[in-house]
């Protein structure tokens, strides 16, 4: 007899943590491993952001705060959305969260009933598929095709819409492929959602991390007032993964209910971390610019290097910090190759299949590491196949 609640047998873990554990076990045996598995910038949190947290703690800003976030941070988010997306949401449209991830969970919990369907990208961020299963929603993954540079195709979405479709999840720039959707594609999907009265959840955590392409959001259509919920945060752009700070902007009714989920689960987002968030948004953006300059060089180096490995081919990702080479010509599946690379080359990356069945035949390299490590990793992988 099953002892736990049914949903607990459906919710899934994350491949990145599984491979990190494998790499750490090799390291405990004294082996050297080059790390490309975890999706976090290798830059420290900028000094001025850290200082504002120190000051907030010093001035005893350490108690409970509003469950939906402190007003000053919400005002900073209003300015940020106006600047980056071109519309100014009301304070009631904003919810501050401990990281971006709870925004995925809370949005799906707030909008989707058991049996209703969720359309989402495959390969995609593993939390989407996991929460779809947890809430017992209908699972409608859409395969991202390499010939479309891994961009979600609006007509593929249109084909999958049924009367049960409740939510479409978008993610651009995308994890794990680094793809960036065009303005036309995003607009078309927003239009399809409106025509079919479907909610759109747009995961925009990489909104500040683009190379040649520009960022677009479906939220401009309804200014996140009717059907669009956007997710953004501080983990990636400001190297704040461990601080846990993110936010959603969406229709007031949904945001209010998500605030109730906050009250019942986390009470509030850490008070002094929110002060640091204000500094991140309002302070100098120079550290972000510097980091993106470094990521561009690394992107170019890793794409060139991966394309030099026999039977690997790799597109040039347009955003985020992930490369997603095709390894089908090796004759091995993505887990076999990821294990081969870890155990024979001492390089830890992730199998594409950790991001859904659509990721089979690919690997994901997080290139948040030095050019020297990238060159070394490419050389070791080449040698391991020699
Ligand atoms: C697409 C995407 N959404 C959300 C998150 C979660 O961000 P956070 O660490 O702020 O919860 C990540 C982190 O890897 C991500 O890649």
Kindly tell me the burial class for residue 140, based on how many C-beta atoms sit within 10 Å of its own C-beta (0-12, 13-18, 19 or more): buried
Q: Are residues 257 and 291 in the same domain?
A: no
Domain's final residue, options 259, 282, 305: 282
Domain of 229, CATH number, reads: 3.40.640.10
Q: What are phi and psi of 161, to 5 degrees?
A: -75, 130
Q: Are residues 83 and 113 in the same domain?
A: yes
Distance, CA of 105 to CA of 90 (rounded, Å): 23
Within the chain, where are the H helices?
Answer: 15-28, 47-58, 71-85, 101-111, 126-134, 154-160, 183-196, 252-265, 271-282, 286-307, 334-345, 371-384
Distance, CA of 84 to CA of 86 (rounded, Å): 6
Q: Average pLDDT of 140-144? A: 98
Two structure tokens written together for 57: 């703690």
Q: How far apart are the CA of 373 and the centre of ligand 1, in A?
A: 24
Contact assessment for residue 340 and residue 348, using Cβ atoms and an 8 Å cutoff: no
Domain's final residue, options 228, 248, 282: 282
Tens-digit pLDDT profile for residues 315-335: 999 999 999 999 999 999 999
Confidence of residue 359 (pLDDT cuts 50, 70, 90): very high
Distances (CA, A) of 171 to 38, 41, 84, 176, 321: 18, 19, 16, 10, 14
Confidence of residue 185 (pLDDT cuts 50, 70, 90): very high
Q: Are residues 24 and 113 in the same domain?
A: no
Domain's final residue, options 256, 282, 308: 282
The neighbouring-strand residues paired with 276 are none
Neighbouring CB atoms inside 10 A of 372's CB total 10
Q: How far apart are the CA of 131 and the centre of ligand 1, in A?
A: 14
pTM of the model: 0.97
Q: Return mean pLDDT, the chain.
A: 97
Tens-digit pLDDT profile for residues 3-22: 999 999 999 887 788 899 99
Domain count, the chain: 2
Q: Probe ligand 1: pick from 126, 175, 270, max atoms within 8 Å of CB?
A: 175
Contact assessment for residue 160 and residue 189, using Cβ atoms and an 8 Å cutoff: no
Q: Tell me the residue range of the domain where 341 lies.
A: 6-44+286-384
Q: Are residues 207 and 321 in the same domain?
A: no
User: 49: number of CA atoms within 13 Å, CB side?
Assistant: 25
Q: In the structure, which protein residues have their CB atom closer than 6 angstroms to any atom of ligand 1?
A: 39, 99-101, 125, 171, 175, 203, 205, 233, 235, 241, 246
Percent of the chain with pLDDT strictly greater than 90: 97
Q: Are residues 11 and 64 in the same domain?
A: no
- Residue 242, domain member (yes or no): yes
Q: Are residues 78 and 227 in the same domain?
A: yes
Residue linked to tokens 């108690």: 63
Q: How far apart are the CA of 100 and the centre of ligand 1, in A?
A: 6
Q: Average pLDDT of 37-42? A: 93
Q: Output the residue whose Cα is nearest ligand 1's atom 7.
A: 100
Q: Which atom of ligand 1 is nearest to the CA of 101?
A: 11
Q: What's the pLDDT at 12? A: 87
Q: Average pLDDT of 165-186? A: 98
Neighbouring CB atoms inside 10 A of 190's CB total 24
Q: Which atom of ligand 1 is nearest to the CA of 235?
A: 10
Q: What are phi and psi of 107, to 5 degrees?
A: -65, -45
Q: Are residues 147 and 263 in the same domain?
A: yes
Tens-digit pLDDT profile for residues 291-313: 999 999 999 999 999 999 999 99
Q: Are residues 329 and 357 in the same domain?
A: yes
Q: What's the pLDDT at 197? A: 98
- Residue 1, domain member (yes or no): no
Q: Probe ligand 1: pick from 100, 169, 266, 269, max atoms within 8 Å of CB?
A: 100
- Residue 239, domain member (yes or no): yes
Q: Average pLDDT of 339-361? A: 97
Two structure tokens written together for 116: 């209703």
Q: What's the pLDDT at 247? A: 98
Q: What's the pLDDT at 1? A: 65
Tens-digit pLDDT profile for residues 188-217: 999 999 999 999 999 999 999 999 999 999
Q: What's the pLDDT at 167? A: 98
Closest CA to 191 of 226, 218, 165, 210: 218
Distance, CA of 6 to CA of 4 (rounded, Å): 6
Is 332 in a helix, a strand, or coil? coil
DSSP 319: B
């Amino acid at each position: 007899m099953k002892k736990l609640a049914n949903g607990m047998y459906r919710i899934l873990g994350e491949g990145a943590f599984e491979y990190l554990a494998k790499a750490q076990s090799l390291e405990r045996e004294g082996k050297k491993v080059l790390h490309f598995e975890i999706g976090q910038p290798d830059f420290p949190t900028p000094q001025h952001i850290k200082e504002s947290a120190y000051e907030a703690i010093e001035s005893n800003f350490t108690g409970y705060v509003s469950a939906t976030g402190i007003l000053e941070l919400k005002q900073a988010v209003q300015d940020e959305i106006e600047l980056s997306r071109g519309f100014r949401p009301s304070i009631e449209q904003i919810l501050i969260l401990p990281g971006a991830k709870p925004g995925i969970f809370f949005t799906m919990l707030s909008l989707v009933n058991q049996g209703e369907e969720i359309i989402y990208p495959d390969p995609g961020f593993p939390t989407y598929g996991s929460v779809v299963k947890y809430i017992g929603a209908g699972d409608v993954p859409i395969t991202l095709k390499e010939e479309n540079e891994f961009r979600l195709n609006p007509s593929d979405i249109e084909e999958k819409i049924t009367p049960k479709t409740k939510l479409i999840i978008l993610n651009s720039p995308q994890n794990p492929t680094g793809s960036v959707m065009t303005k036309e594609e995003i607009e078309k999907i927003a239009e399809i959602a409106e025509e079919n009265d479907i909610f759109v959840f747009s995961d925009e955590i990489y909104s500040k991390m683009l190379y040649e392409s520009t960022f677009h959001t479906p939220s401009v259509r309804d200014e996140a007032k009717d059907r669009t919920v956007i997710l953004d945060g501080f983990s990636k752009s400001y190297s704040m993964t461990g601080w846990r700070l993110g936010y959603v902007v969406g229709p007031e009714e949904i945001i209010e209910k998500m605030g109730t989920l906050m009250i019942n689960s986390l009470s509030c987002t850490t008070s002094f971390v929110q002060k640091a968030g204000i500094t991140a948004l309002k302070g100098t953006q120079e550290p972000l610019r510097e980091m993106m300059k470094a990521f561009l060089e690394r992107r170019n180096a890793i794409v060139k290097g991966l394309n030099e490995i026999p039977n690997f081919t790799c597109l040039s990702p347009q955003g985020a910090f992930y490369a997603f080479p095709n390894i089908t010509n090796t004759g091995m599946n993505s887990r076999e190759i990821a294990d081969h690379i870890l155990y024979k080359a001492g390089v830890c990356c992730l199998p594409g299949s950790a991001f859904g069945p659509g990721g089979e035949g690919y690997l994901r390299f997080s290139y948040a590491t030095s050019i020297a490590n990238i060159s070394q990793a490419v050389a070791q992988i080449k040698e391991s196949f020699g």
